[in-house]
Amino acid sequence: MVQDVLQATIEVLGRQGYAALRVDEVAALAGVNKTTVYRRWPTKLELVSAAFHEIADRAIVAVDTGSLRSDLLAFFRARSEASSPARAAMIRLITTERANPEVAALARSRWEEHLGRVSALVERGVDRGELPAGTDAALVAEVIASASYVRFLQSGQKAEGPFLEAVIDLVLRGAVARPNREDGG
């Protein structure tokens, strides 16, 4: 039942957006009574947040190939393959409802979680000596993740294949060539 409701939430959200999402429509699509939905998720925001967490968690894979480049490729490929409908719905939500403070907070939270996962991969690469000590792992993570996000937002295309490889290679080469400097130079 939970999975059905969360999947229905993503579907309705993707079609109509946050403002037009109605819990009774989600419940009908999931084949449950709306009181069942409200018992578990008292507000629309809680329902939408739970749906994104659940769908995004399915896309998370434990990656440790021994190579930062391979880890990043595996991570982004898995996310791309596993979360297309949820990702499309989330991007629609962010672009159409950004002025809503609840939506803005949800978007920030999801983005920070995503960056944290990517940053952890980069930090592991620094620990293995693949990137110089002092590399700003959060910045490397944000540049790679942002390229993926903007590509999808602007063109609807996933960041995969040669594009994904080129972005990761470009960013990693840049990080190797210019480690974070405290002198600003």
Q: What is the separation, in whole angstroms, between the first and last Cα of the chain?
A: 56
pLDDT exceeds 80 at position 184: no
CATH architecture type of domain 63-185? Orthogonal Bundle (1.10)
pLDDT value at residue 70: 96
Domain ranges of the chain: 1-58, 63-185
Backbone angles phi, psi at 124, to 5 degrees: -65, -35
Q: Encoding tokens for residue 17?
A: 């957006």
Could you say which DSSP state residue 35 is in? H
pLDDT value at residue 60: 67
Q: Is the pTM of this model over 0.85?
A: no
1-58 against 63-185: fold identical? no
pLDDT exceeds 90 at position 53: no
CA angle (30, 35, 41) in 5-degree steps: 80
Q: Summarize pLDDT for 121-155 with one digit per residue, the tens.
A: 999 999 999 999 999 999 999 999 999 888 877 77
**Which class is 1-58 in CATH?**
mainly alpha
Q: Quote the CA–CA distance of 25 and 27 in Å, as a whole number.
A: 5
